[in-house]
Chain A
Amino acid sequence: MTVDLSQFIPSFLEESFEGLELMESGLLNLQEGDSELIHSIFRAAHSIKGGAGTFGFENVTDFTHLVETLLDEMRDGRREITSEDTEILLESVDCIRLLIEAARDGEEYDNEKIEQTSKRLTATLDGKNHSKEACDNTEEVVKSPNDLEYLIHFVPELSLAKTGNDPIFLFTALAELGVLTIEADSSSLPALNDIDPLELYLSWQLKLISSASIDDIKEIFEWVEDECELDIIIVDADNLASSSTVQDLEQSSNEQVKEVKETQGVEVSSNSETSNQSEVTKESNAGIKPKAKSDVGSIRVGVDKVDSLINLVGELVITQSMLSELGSDFDMSKVDRLTNGLEQLLQNTKELQESVMRIRMLPISFAFNRFPRLVHDLANKTGKDMELVIKGEQTELDKTVMEQIGDPLVHLIRNAVDHGIESSEVRLANGKPKQGVISLDAYHQGGNIVIEISDDGGGIDRENVFSKAVEKGLVDANATLTDSQVFDLLFEPGFSTAAEVTDISGRGVGMDVVKRNIQALGGRIQVDSTPGEGSTFKVNLPLTLAILDGQLVKVGTETYIIPLISIVESLQIEKEYLNRVSGDMDLYRLRDDNVPILPIYQLFNINSQCTDLDNALLVVVESDGQKVGLMVDDLLAQQQVVIKSLKDNYQQVLGISGATILGDGSVAMILDIPGMIQMALEKAQRIQLKKYPNHTDKVGEYI
């Protein structure tokens, strides 16, 4: 039986990355004596090594082996857990990630870094290795004199490994009973070309010195006794006891340890043979590899979510059959039942929609997980003392949103570390605890998710920001701005208040990108800061990108959808608040604001009966702090709509963010408010360009 291993590579990669994350978070929390944690880190490393070996990623295997050895020593208590070792291990995790990524993409990697780290690892391993080994041996040797010596001949069938049994487990179990010597017989190993990597060609001769009874030994082989030849012989016990002194025993046990190591060597070498073989497949897979880059992505979904979905589909089927039965001979007397049925259908559909959406939802801990490491590294780099407190990591968020919010959050945290938290001396001088706190919080609010990044640092220096903005020509020196307006200046391109540029932040790129990224997701970012007490960045995001709450409006014969989130209010125009200013521009006085009126029919070049401004309906929307009034013919219902892309079969249309399908099966366009404002601007510019071709510099200011 041959299996195309390449089909498992994606799942190996996925599991490896998960394993690496686990190792990383484990290492950050690692303390002396926490054996459970070390075990789990070790297991993660071990399965990465195993998987990499299977798929022929040899550099991963070799490197991970070093890590594993170090972890193994920690696990057995042979090595103390020092912060330096943890540091090296963290670095190694990065290296493994680098190696796996390189293996995935078939690209080159930073060999120097890997080599350096592996040298450091080896050095660490050599440095403290020997000190404890000796006492380990003496422990092993202590044994009671009434031990028996068993000779076990174990010849497994070729298919043993396929049934999920691994001789190693058996031997480990045997070794627990006493002192075990293993000799592998590899004589029946076929030529390399004929090897089926899934079959077991080896047989073993085992020598066990133990006080256990023969039944105990048989019990270990219980699961495989049908699939192997097994002989267990008891060698004369007296003979052994008289001929060997305790000293000899010590000697022999040392040899045994060596032999065990040798047999492991056999295992490894037979592994490397198979991995040679899989290397051939690896090369032939080279063509497939780039595929992994165009990441299709997968989600792990909890069984409970799938179950609830199945339940709902069951209910839907019942409702459907009820309705179709009703429809087969319908008369007016059954109208009540029909309405009930339809109501039930509505309920089912809504629940089904929610359930399906929930499948895309992941706890935000997926995005938060990398931050402890980030803060840890940054703390080392800056020499500041701080801790990261994470709250609400179970808050669920759409996968797409999650993937895109990661980078902006990294930026915000870097900023909090670099600009927010002061050095320990300054903190102590200001009467604050020495250790700074950065907290990360996520919670739901209405249909949105709010992520808060706050620090208890020095806060934002309002005057500093303002004078910097004046210096950069972003605001007028005499302007009076509210606090929030000042803080918004932080998001202007090219703005940075850092006294000196560090390699963490301060180059002034970043905050504007952060804001743009968040806006691209349909979200908002707000800053709040108290001098001396710290600052809070609040990111508001929609739960999902696939569904939107919309207001349906009618213009001419067309129906459009305005995202509810951008609507400020809807009103009927009253003549006395209408002003025509600066040459054909219509403004509507909304309390203190003058709102420019954009008639949708003009912008989109469609026919409409309602062209008269008087008494027309105005939907006031806001984008980027700019309010505009969209003139519509009629306001229809408010409803949730599923966003469909126009780009799939057509192209991006200015002023339109997508389309959706209404209840009657027709298509309706979803308006893109920033895009429409942009359109109106360009239109105004074109008109002005025609009228006054000579001075066109400042037309943008009019709207």
Chain B
Amino acid sequence: MNIQAMANEIPSEGEHSIEGIDFITSGDQYLTFTLSHEQYAVDILCVEEIRSWERPTIIPNSPTYIQGVINMRGVIVPIIDLRLKFSIGEASYTETTVVIVLTYQDDVASRTMGFVVDAVSDVLNVESEEIKPAPQFGGCVPPQYIEGLINAEANVVTLLNVANLQLLEKDDNHA
């Protein structure tokens, strides 16, 4: 069977497997993770890598949520604890504590930062129209970081805006 014929057989929606190959046919993909008991997601294309927690080197006089910097194959990458940044749950470091390294590229430059989360859970396929705007009542997470909400079965997942996550606020720069 040639590739063209295979491609024709793939229905337009959903996730399918032909002869053991996974085909993802539509929608964007998002990586979900947990902070305390809440589900969050980021665009999977921004994810550089997922690595286990290691103690970073402290940056003097930085905000508490900036844990420090690590060496990722010769690149100095700052590590931000999302639980501290969003004041969700407690910042404990266990075996499942992981760092999601995100790279965001705009016209000018690209930035790479690591974000500490409690655990990585899943990859979601979501059509863009399925992303709902978040209500303005607001929790701990400032609205500029929230891109929207996604319904994943019974859960509601908060989709985060990677570009804004990587902006460093000048105001809270003094510890």
* Chain A residues in the interface with B (C-beta under 8 A): 558, 603-606, 644-646, 648-651, 653-656, 659, 661, 665-669
Does the CB pair A667–B60 fall under 8 Å?
no
Known: A651-B168, A667-B70. A605 touches B77 (CB 8 A): no
Q: Given the complex, which residues of B lie within 8 Å of A603, measured CB to CB?
A: 60
The answer for the CA separation of A606 and B60 in the assembled complex, in Å, is 8
The answer for the CA separation of A649 and B111 in the assembled complex, in Å, is 5
CB distance from A527 to the nearest CB of B (A): 36
Which A residue's beta carbon lies closest to that of B77?
A649
Does the CB pair A650–B59 fall under 8 Å?
yes
Does the CB pair A668–B57 fall under 8 Å?
yes
B27 at the A interface (CB under 8 A): no
Known: A651-B168, A665-B71. A646 touches B76 (CB 8 A): yes
Q: Given the complex, which residues of A lie within 8 Å of B57, measured CB to CB?
A: 558, 659, 666-669
The answer for the CA separation of A645 and B56 in the assembled complex, in Å, is 16
* Chain B residues in the interface with A (C-beta under 8 A): 56-62, 68-71, 74-78, 111-113, 168, 175
Q: Given the complex, which residues of A lie within 8 Å of B111, measured CB to CB?
A: 648-649
The answer for the CA separation of A661 and B77 in the assembled complex, in Å, is 12
Q: Given the complex, which residues of B lie within 8 Å of A651, measured CB to CB?
A: 168
Q: Which residue of B62, B69, B113, B168 is within 8 Å of A659 (Cβ)?
A: B69
The answer for the CA separation of A49 and B68 in the assembled complex, in Å, is 56
CB distance from B76 to the nearest CB of A (A): 5
Known: A653-B62, A659-B76. A666 touches B168 (CB 8 A): no
Beyond A645-B76, A646-B76, 4 extra complex contacts between A and B, CB < 8 Å: A644-B74, A648-B75, A649-B112, A669-B59
Does the CB pair B56–A667 fall under 8 Å?
yes
The answer for the CA separation of A653 and B78 in the assembled complex, in Å, is 12
Q: Given the complex, which residues of A lie within 8 Å of B78, measured CB to CB?
A: 649-650
10 shortest interchain CB distances as A-B pairs: A604-B60, A667-B57, A650-B78, A661-B71, A659-B76, A667-B71, A649-B112, A644-B76, A667-B69, A649-B111
Known: A667-B56, A668-B57, A669-B57. A649 touches B62 (CB 8 A): no
Does the CB pair A605–B69 fall under 8 Å?
no
Q: Given the complex, which residues of B lie within 8 Å of A606, measured CB to CB?
A: 58, 60
CB distance from A599 to the nearest CB of B (A): 13
Does the CB pair A649–B113 fall under 8 Å?
yes
CB distance from B86 to the nearest CB of A (A): 19
Known: A646-B69, A649-B112, A667-B71. A656 touches B59 (CB 8 A): yes
Q: Given the complex, which residues of A lie within 8 Å of B58, measured CB to CB?
A: 558, 604, 606
Known: A667-B70, A667-B71, A667-B76. A650 touches B168 (CB 8 A): yes
The answer for the CA separation of A648 and B71 in the assembled complex, in Å, is 13
Please list 21 pairs of residues, one from A and one from B, whose beta carbons are closer than 8 Å in the complex, sorted by A's number: A606-B58, A606-B60, A644-B74, A645-B76, A646-B59, A649-B76, A649-B78, A649-B111, A650-B69, A653-B59, A653-B60, A653-B61, A654-B61, A655-B60, A656-B59, A656-B60, A659-B57, A661-B71, A661-B76, A667-B71, A668-B57
